[in-house]
Amino acid sequence: MDMSSIGEIFVGVIVGGLVNAYFSWRSSNELRREASDLRQLNYQLIRFLEDAAMIKNVEWKNGKPIRIVSASATAVGRSSATARPTVIRHDAQDEQSDNPAP
C-alpha cells in the first residue's frame, strides 16, 4: 500500500463523515420542528376539550399542561335488529323416517 492510497482513503473517510454530519443535522432539525408542531397541536386540542367541558381543571405551568384533574365523555349508541322467520314443514315420509317403528 503506497501513500497515495492511504491519502485517498483518509480523504474519503473525511468527506463521508462531513456528508453524514450534514444530513444528520438536517434531519435532526426537521424532527425538532415536527415535534414542536405536534406539541402545539396537543396543547390546542387540550384547550378545545377544556372549552367543550370534556376535560376540567387543567393545570398549566409556563404555558404547558401539567395535570388534567377530571375528564368525562358521553357515548351515545343506537341499535336495531330485523328478522325473517320461516316455517320448515316436513313431509309425511320424513316424519316416518325420524320416528322408526319399534
Q: In this predicted model, what pLDDT tens digit does every residue of 54-81 receive, in sequence order?
A: 888 888 888 888 887 777 777 788 888 8
pLDDT at 38 over 60: yes
Query: What's residue 31's pLDDT?
Result: 94
**Which residues are bridge partners to 61 per DSSP?**
64
Cα-Cα-Cα-Cα torsion 69, 52, 43, 75, nearest 10 degrees, comes to 70
**Which grid coordinates belong to 91?**
313431509
pTM score, whole prediction: 0.50
Sketch the domain layout of the chain as residue ranges.
Answer: 3-73
